Amino acid sequence: MARSARRERDRRRSPSSARHADAIRVALMEVAPAGLKKPRLMAVTELSGSQIVRGLAGYRELAGEKKWPPLLWSFQGGYHLCEDADELEEWERHWAEVKATEIGGVIEGILAPHARLFPRSRWISYVEAQMTAIQSSLDMIAHPQSQ
């Protein structure tokens, strides 16, 4: 990553979100492998709801950098640290399916009408092709063929 891009990213991440992320990490490590739902996470960390939200966003930014375990959310357990390959794969497939559906909606609801209005536009042809390729890639992640 270019030095200027790294500085820009660090500028966007506030020191408080990093502190909140660390507080969330410590709280979840103490209850692992169980998880905590947001109200309990707020009580344990003594953070407000908005601080929890910023801390969760900060955690996702810092996890790869600091080699922290992935953070997942489920209806049953709330937020939890996950090191189970099958659970991570299932979450990633679900995420890919959700994003493919969202992109399909953009293609059908925004790009297709734009293309009908301006059929000779190079811009819309390019954007539509790229978004269709992204949707196809996400579909292949969400529904891989058996090998």
* Range in 6-20, 56-70, 112-126 the model is least confident about: 6-20
pTM: 0.74
Give the pLDDT score at 2.
Answer: 60
Give the pLDDT score at 9.
Answer: 55
Give the pLDDT score at 12.
Answer: 64
What radius of gyration do the chain's Cα atoms show? 20
Measure the CA dihedral 96/1/9/52, to 10°: 40
CB 28 within 8 A of CB 45: no
Orientation of helix 49-66 relative to helix 15-31, angle to 10°: 80
CB 59 within 8 A of CB 21: yes
Give the pLDDT score at 5.
Answer: 59
Give the pLDDT score at 51.
Answer: 94
- pLDDT one-digit tens code per residue, 80-104: 999 889 999 999 999 999 999 999 9
Q: How confident is the model at residue 14 (pLDDT cuts 50, 70, 90)?
A: confident
Average pLDDT over the chain reads 89
Average pLDDT over residues 32-43: 92
Give the pLDDT score at 123.
Answer: 96
Give the pLDDT score at 4.
Answer: 56
